[in-house]
Structure 1
C-alpha cells in the first residue's frame, strides 16, 4: 500500500518540468477532446494528498470527481483487489459467475434506502448505469417517455447526453440524440424568481403540470433526478420538491430513479443523499464512490422492477468485473469502519463555517450550498442581479492550483467552485486548503 506524507509540498511550479514533458507526449497521442482540469501527472495519491511526477504534493479537493472517497490507495481496497488479481482478473459474470458480484449486490440491498426486496445489476460507469435504469423502467412500465430536469447531468453516451441539460462541452455537435426525453424545471432555490422559501412548492407544481399536460403521466416510464445535482452546480433541490415528485411518480405508476452517482456512498453525510427527505426510490444508480477508484456501477431497485427484464437483456462483458467488485467490498468496509458518513458531516461543518466567514468579506460569493463533503460556492458579479462570474471562478481555480490545491469548477453557467475532498482527509489539510481559497479570493 502506498503511503503518501499528508502534507502539501511545492518543489516546482505547477505543473512542473516532468509534467510538462508528459503533457507534450500526451498532446501527440491522446485525442484533443479528452480534457484535464490540471495537467499535473499523478505519481502517488492517498488520504488528502496527490503527489505528482515532479514531487509536488497537492491537497486534493476533487477525489477524482467524488470517486476516491476512501482515499486513492485505501488499505482494504488495495488488499481485497490485490487478492482478487492473484486469483483471476475476469471470467465474465454472464459466462461463469463469481461470489464477489453477488456479495456487492447483497451489500447494495442492505445499504440503499427502503426495506423492500431489492436486486441489482452491475456495470462499468455511471452513464451505463443510468442507461440501463431507463431500459429497466421502460421494460417494467411498457412506456417510453423519460422526464429529467434543468441543470441535470447523467452521462456522455447518446441516451445520457439526451438526459443531460448542459450543451457545452457534453452535447455540442454530437446529435441527433435519443427521443422521448422531456426536461422540466428543478427547484434551484438560489435562482428561483420568488425566492428559496417558495421554490419547493412552486417548482414541483410547475414540473408536475408540465409532465401532465405536455407528456401525459400515463406515458412516462421514469422520472430521473440527482438528489443533489452535481455537474449542474451542486444544487440541492428546495425542500419538498423531491417528495412531491416521488409521490407523483408513485400515484401514476412511474419509476422514480435517484441518480446517486456523484452524491452516493457517504458523500453527503448519509449513505445516499435521497435519505435526507426520506425518499425511497424505485431504482437508484450508483458509481463513482462505490469502488475506491476502480470502474464499477450499479442499478439497484425493487425486485419486481429489476426482474421485469427478460433473461439476457442486461449485462456487458466487463460489468461487475471481479477486481472492481473486490475493491467495492473494500471501499464499503472502509466506509463502515471509519464512519465516513460522520466524517462527511464534520467536513461540512468546517467548510461551511470557513466559507461563510469568507462570504462576509467577499461579495463575489453569492451562495454557499451542499451537504457533507459535497460543498460549493456560486460566484456572482453582483449579489443583487446574481450575474454569473465565470471568469472569476476560472481565475480562482487557477490560483488554487498554483498554490497546491486541486479544486474543480462546475455549474450550468460555469460559475461554481465545487469541493469534493476525500472523506478521509485530515482536518489540518482541510483547513490549509481553505486557507489557500481565502488567499486566492483576496488576490482576485
Structure 2
C-alpha cells in the first residue's frame, strides 16, 4: 500500500488538528477519513501539505482528538469529561466503531470475562431468549415483543407482534433479524416468521411455507442461520402435515426446501437447531419437557437423509437429573455435548450412530438443594470454550477434557433463563428480575 508522506490539516469545531496521511490511512478505506485517499492510497489533491486548505468538520473536537490518538497509537484513552456515548456516536460518524471496539475489548476469553453493565426494565419475568448480535449489540425476546440494542446498549424501536408469543430470534446480519412466532405474525398476516429491520423495526419480509402449491399457516419455532450459503432453517408446525424443518433463501426469502417429519422423528417440535459448517448438516434437538423423550439428530439436506440420531427412549432413567435439557454439537471433537438439570455434562460420539451417552459429573458445580424455581441449563460453544448456565451462574469449561476453569456470577438477578455469545460479548438474561447482564473481556494491560 502506497502512503504519501503528506501532512493533513483538519478544523474540527474550530480547533485545528494536523497529522500525517499514514495516521489517517489507519482508519481504513471504508471510513469517512479513507475517502480522502485515491485508489492508490495517495492523498487526493487539495488535502496534502502543499495545500493551504483545511478540511472543516462541524463535529466535536474533544472526541476527534481521542479518535485521532487511537489511530496514532492503537490505544483508547477516554478523558473523564467525555461521555462514552458521545464518543461512540462520533466514532460511528467517522466509521471508526470497529477501531474503538478492538481497542476497548481484548480477544474473547471466557476465563477473563468482566461484568461491564446490567440493563433493566426489558424482560419482566417471561423472557424467551436473548441473542447476541454480530456488532456487539443484542436483542431480548419476551412475550410478544423483541427489544433490540446496539453495542452501546441504546435501544432501537421495539418489535411488537400483537400478542403472538415470540418463539425464537436470530440475527441474519448486523442490520436484520428474524423472529419466529405462532401461526399469525400479528397484524402482518399469515406466516410464522418474518425478517425485521434492527434500526426501524420495519417488517421487510414474511416467510411462507408452501405445500402442494398453497401457502400454509404455520408456527415457526427454533431458528438457525447458515451464512456460508445464505440459508435460514426453522422448525415448523402446520395445521395439516407441514411438520418438519423449513429452509429459506436469505436473499430472496423464498422457501427452497422442506424436511418432512416421518414416524419416529421429532422435527416440528424442535427446541434447538444448529448449523454445522464443516459437515454441512443441521443438528435438530427436541428436549424434555417439551417431549417425554429427547430426540437429537443430524440432517443432511443434500440427499434428504438423517445421518446420525440418538434418543433416550428405553434408557433406564429413574430420576429427572438424567433428562437432557440442552445439546450442542462440537465438530472439532466429533461429539455432541448435552447437559442435565444438575449441570452434569454428557458426551456422545458423532462417528457412532445411536451411540451411548457418557455422563461426566466432575464438572458439576451445584451440589445440595436446588433453587425453588431453577431455569433449565443452556449450552454454548465459542472460541474453543464450552459454556453452561446453571441457576444464577455460567460455568466455563476449557481444554480437551472440558475441565471447569471459571464461572460467572452476579449478586442479583436470580436464575439465568438464557445466555448468548457474539460480537465479543456474553449476554445473560435473568428470569426472576427484570434485567440482563453484559460481560466482556478487558484488553491485556500495557506493560
TM bin, normalised by shorter chain, reads: under 0.3
Relative contact order, higher structure (CA 8 A, sep 6+): 1
Bigger-Rg structure (1/2): 2
| TM-score, normalisation: structure 2 | 0.26
**Structure with the higher strand share, 1 or 2:** 2
**Structure with the higher helix share, 1 or 2:** 1
